[in-house]
């Protein structure tokens, strides 16, 4: 039986496990894939105190740090259900069941993809999902933002300060972003907005993105735009499908937490991209993992012994 059972082995889960183990708690990590989104990241330049690193390298460092403590790492295991009781039971897809006094959910999120030809091929070679992360790589170049919701228009405003030109492509006939953001975007000289545009293909030379094709949904005409980068901003989906019910989530399916990282179920904590935190970054996920872990410790020391 565990004191703290962490579900997820990304930066939030790794940080939470280290903090728990350092309190002398019996700690386990169940992870589908240790490292999480960081494993898919090429360059990382905003992990403060490390000027530049690469995803797989940071994952190796994370693993080395966690393994320095007495943490039971169960990699390659997916959680399928959480059952409340005096102790929590975590069911795995393998059929195994783990018991713990507290559970810390850090199953992260995934970016919604366009699902068009070229998107996978040029991922990290011009197709990007995070303007905070990859914006500076396109300094002085032309880029597109796919999606005209709040995150798309925020990304366009952010990028317009760095790159030469931004084209926003929105599928619908109007933008869904807040009025104030639309006004700001329209006031910037280097943002063009195209509505009723369905992106159909990412085009490149084999090594890097060179442009994209889209169809004007009103006329049916096909167009080509030359550019160096494509930021896909059509939603971040939290990995909460496995939690059937019982935990308070917001309209986006993100787990709502309090300032100690506790969810609506006492003893169940959450951290990182799976929560309703305003921003999703490695350094933020690690901070919230530490915070939730300390929250779990606080909860544990108040538990009455049977
Ligand atoms: P994740 O990293 O998503 O980890 C989730 C963990 O949970 C994984 O181990 C996963 O296998 C596991 N899991 C999921 N479901 C289950 C389940 N049912 N059972 C068991 N385990 C499960 N941020 C930056 O700060 N700088 C950057 O430069 C940067 N670049 C990025 C580039 C890309 C391509 C991507 C995708 C993201 C980037 N980010 C960057 C964002 C950053 O990676 C995330 O904010 C961060 O990884 C979130 O950490 P997390 O631990 O909350 O979740």
pLDDT at residue number 306? 63
Cα–Cα separations (whole angstroms), residue 73 to 18, 54, 103, 168, 297: 12, 23, 15, 43, 19
Tell me, in angstroms, the distance from the centre of ligand 1 to residue 109's CA: 6
pLDDT at residue number 173? 96
Catalytic-residue membership of 130: yes
Tell me, in angstroms, the distance from the centre of ligand 1 to residue 15's CA: 13
Catalytic-residue membership of 134: yes
Q: CB burial class (10 A; 0-12, 13-18, 19+) of residue 15?
A: buried
Q: Which of 68, 75, 133, 205 is catalytic?
A: 133
* Contact indicator for 111, 131 with CB cutoff of 8 Å: no
Q: List pocket residues of ligand 1, CB cut-off 6 Å.
A: 7-13, 30-34, 36-38, 40-41, 44, 46, 78-79, 106-109, 111, 129-130, 133, 239, 242, 272-274, 280-283, 285
Catalytic-residue membership of 133: yes
Q: Which residues are annotated as a binding site for NAD(+)?
A: 142-156
Q: Which atom of ligand 1 is nearest to the CA of 46?
A: 26
What is this structure's pTM? 0.89
pLDDT one digit per residue (tens) for the chain, 306 residues: 999 999 999 999 999 999 999 999 999 999 999 999 999 888 899 999 999 999 999 999 999 999 999 999 999 999 999 999 889 999 999 999 999 999 999 999 999 999 999 999 999 999 999 998 899 999 999 999 999 999 999 999 999 999 999 999 999 999 999 999 999 999 999 999 999 999 999 999 999 999 999 999 999 999 999 999 999 999 999 999 999 778 999 999 999 999 999 999 999 999 999 999 999 999 999 999 999 999 999 999 999 876
């Amino acid at each position: 039986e565990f004191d703290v059972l962490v579900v997820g082995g990304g930066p939030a889960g790794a940080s939470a496990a280290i903090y728990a183990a350092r309190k002398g708690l019996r700690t386990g990590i169940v992870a589908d894939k240790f490292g999480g989104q960081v494993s898919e990241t090429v360059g990382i330049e905003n992990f403060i105190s490390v000027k530049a690193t690469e995803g797989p390298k940071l994952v190796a460092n994370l693993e080395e740090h966690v393994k320095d403590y007495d943490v039971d790492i169960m990699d390659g295991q997916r959680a399928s259900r959480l059952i409340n009781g005096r102790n929590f039971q975590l069911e795995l897809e393998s059929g195994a069941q783990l018991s713990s006094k507290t559970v810390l959910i850090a199953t992260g999120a995934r970016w919604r993809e366009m699902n068009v030809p070229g998107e996978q091929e040029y991922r990290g070679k011009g197709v990007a999902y995070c303007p905070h992360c990859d914006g500076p790589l396109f300094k002085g170049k032309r880029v597109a933002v796919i999606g005209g919701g709040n995150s798309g228009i925020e990304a366009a405003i952010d990028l317009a300060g760095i790159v030469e030109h931004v084209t926003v492509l929105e599928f619908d006939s109007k933008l869904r972003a807040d009025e104030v953001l639309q006004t700001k975007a329209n006031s910037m000289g280097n943002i063009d907005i195209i509505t009723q545009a369905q992106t159909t293909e990412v085009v490149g030379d084999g090594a890097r993105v060179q442009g994209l094709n889209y169809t004007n949904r009103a006329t049916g005409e096909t167009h080509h735009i030359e550019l160096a980068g494509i930021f896909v901003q059509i939603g971040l989906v939290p990995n909460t499908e496995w939690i059937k019910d019982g935990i308070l989530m917001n309209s986006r399916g993100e787990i709502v937490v309090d300032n100690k990282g506790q969810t609506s179920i006492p003893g169940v904590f959450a951290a990182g991209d799976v929560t309703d935190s305003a921003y999703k970054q490695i350094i933020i996920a690690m901070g919230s993992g530490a915070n939730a872990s300390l929250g779990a410790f606080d909860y544990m020391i108040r538990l009455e012994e049977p």
